[in-house]
Amino acid sequence: MLAAAGTAVTTALAGCSGLNPLSSESRVEYDDEAIAALAGDLPEVPPLTPAQPPADAVAAARDRIRSLLEDADLSEIPNEAVRRRLVRERDYARDSLEDDETDDTRVGALAGLTHPRSEAMFVHAGVQAFEGNLGPDDIEARRQRHVEAAESFLADYAYVGPADDPVAAFAAHAKITDWGQTGARIARSSDYHEYENTVLHTAELAQGVEWGHAYATDARRFYDHYAGTLDATHDYAERFARVADDLVADVEDHATRPDWDDVTGGFDRNIEGTAASELLQELAGARWNAADTAVERRDDGHVALAVGSAMRALTLDRAFADATDAIADGAYGVPESTAPIAAEREAAVEALRTLLDTSPGLLARRPAAYAHSHLQSANRSIEQDSASSPGHYLYSEYANAHRYAAAAPPVVQRVADALGD
């Protein structure tokens, strides 16, 4: 994650023509109306899971927020800086009780309530710490209980699913185990030192524990509900492990840091300061992150997660190769107008539609969600007027979505065949 963030910072700096003297984009005037017209509607990506958590899990998450905020009287706290911080967190948590009502799926609604629960805990713990009823030792004892519960759930976990639908079993377990692992990881961490103030430090410690606890609790509820819906079950642990071993073997070579000069070098022209450079660095960085994660998850025995990460790394590898070929043929330089940018967006949307029509749909939706996120990011930057270098940033975002979506169908088919064997 740090590596990916570093890559993003590097490429973002390269994308600002005002910071990069090698970029010629500053000499191009793009039509504002044509740029605004790019932020159009996108194809919807259906849910990635074949099942949803129970409705009472969403209700319980919302009740948890309300109960934590119920007795949080902030007017008694004399320190204005502490009070302002607690008020902000309280308002964020309250807002979530309205925001999640618009989510189309219980998976999305529940995921959207994990951090608000931690914000509500920040407020609750801050008040308790101010009143002398809560300290770091209390939080540490709570952390140990939640870590043990999360790890016990993962240790007893069984990859059960319908005997005739391994793809559906994979899709369900990829989400459930992701939540479980995320919860255990966050709950284990005690490295929170944002605040020197004793009250706020205790609040942030409690916030981290609650955030991890929320994910782990949701994972258990989702798993119990999913397993309870199955009439006849099959244990897919060995099959998922076999598929993970096969896929990860093909991406292990990319699990080490790329040589960035090699990533963007070797062309007949200088691509620095262009969408071509940003595109290759983003794809190579994402491929590295996905491959490294796939290896780690396979080695740790988290086989469903390993399959998902390896699938993403394989798609990124194909996308990188296709993008390299296109750049060698002259693509993704500095566009003289919005026409090439619009054409790339159209190609990305068409590739996304094709991917969404690829069978099996539950597998195709995973890479589709990745491509969709890049298109959404471009839309947001246009709507917020934050694309300071539109011919660079937008061109790269559309190219990323296009190349990834176009590269995905063969990988989807390979994983589907492997899961079905």
Model confidence pLDDT, tens digit, residues 230-267: 988 899 999 999 999 999 999 999 999 999 999 999 89
Classify residue 13 by its DSSP letter: H
* pLDDT of res. 103: 54
Q: Tell which residue, 48, 71, 62, has the closest CA to residue 93.
A: 62
Please tell me the least confidently modeled range out of 11-15, 173-177, 393-397. Answer: 11-15
Q: Which residues contact 223 (CB under 8 A, 6 or more apart)?
A: 153, 157, 176, 180
Asked whether residue 70 carries a pLDDT value surpassing 50, the answer given is yes
How far are the Cα atoms of 70, 134, 191, 242, 368 from residue 201, in angstroms, in the given order?
Answer: 21, 11, 11, 45, 40
Residue with tokens 């948890």: 64
For residue 67 the two structure tokens come to 């109960």
For residues 350-354, average pLDDT: 98
Amino acid at 193: H
Q: What is the pLDDT of residue 104?
A: 65
pLDDT at 195: 86
- What's the pLDDT score for residue 385? 87
Give every CB contact of residue 267 below 8 A, 6+ residues apart in sequence: 276, 327, 328
Task: Give the DSSP per-residue string, 59-76.
Answer: HHHHHHHHHHHHT--GGG
Q: What is the pLDDT of residue 11?
A: 39
Which position has the token pair 């991890």? 212
What are the tens digits of pLDDT across the range 296-328?
999 999 999 999 999 999 999 999 999 999 999
Q: What is the mean pLDDT of residues 118-126?
A: 97
Query: Mean pLDDT across the stretch 114-119?
Result: 97
- Residue in 84, 109, 86 with CA at minimum distance from that of residue 97: 109
- pLDDT of 10 over the 50 cut: no
Question: How far apart, in whole angstroms, are the C-alpha atoms of residue 296 and residue 251?
Answer: 12
The CA distance from 320 to 220, in Å, is: 37
Long-range contacts of 140-149 (CB under 8 A, 24+ apart): 140/190, 140/205, 142/206, 142/209, 143/187, 143/188, 143/190, 143/209, 146/187, 146/209, 146/212, 146/213, 146/216, 147/184, 147/187, 147/188, 147/212, 149/216
Q: Express each pLDDT in 370-388 by its tens digit.
A: 999 999 999 999 999 887 7
Helix 166-188 vs helix 136-155: crossing angle, to nearest 10: 160
Q: Please, are residues 74 and 83 in contact by the beta-carbon 8 Å criterion? A: yes
Angle at 250 between CA 249 and CA 256, to 5 degrees: 85
H or E stretch at 15: helix 2-15
Residue 25: pLDDT band (50, 70, 90) is low
pLDDT given for residue 28 in this prediction: 83
pLDDT at 76: 87
Amino acid 99: pLDDT: 64
Find the range with the poorest average confidence among 2-16, 273-287, 333-347: 2-16
Predicted confidence band of residue 88 (pLDDT cuts 50, 70, 90): very high
Mean pLDDT of 271-295: 96
| Residue carrying structure tokens 């529940």 | 110
Q: Output the pLDDT for position 391.
A: 84
Buried b (16+ CB within 10 A) or exposed e, 82-118: bbebbeebbebbbebbeebeeeeebbbbbbbbbbbbb
Please calculate the CA angle 230-231-235 and round it to the nearest 5 degrees: 60
Alpha-carbon dihedral sign for residues 218, 219, 224, 230: positive
pTM of the model: 0.88
Question: Are 159 and 153 in contact, with CB atoms under 8 Å apart?
Answer: no
The mean pLDDT of the chain is 91
Three-class HEC string of 224-241:
HHHHHCCCCEEECHHHHH
Percentage with pLDDT > 90 across the chain: 84
Per-residue pLDDT band at 150 (split at 50, 70, 90): very high
Beta strand extents in 49-185 (DSSP E only): 160-162
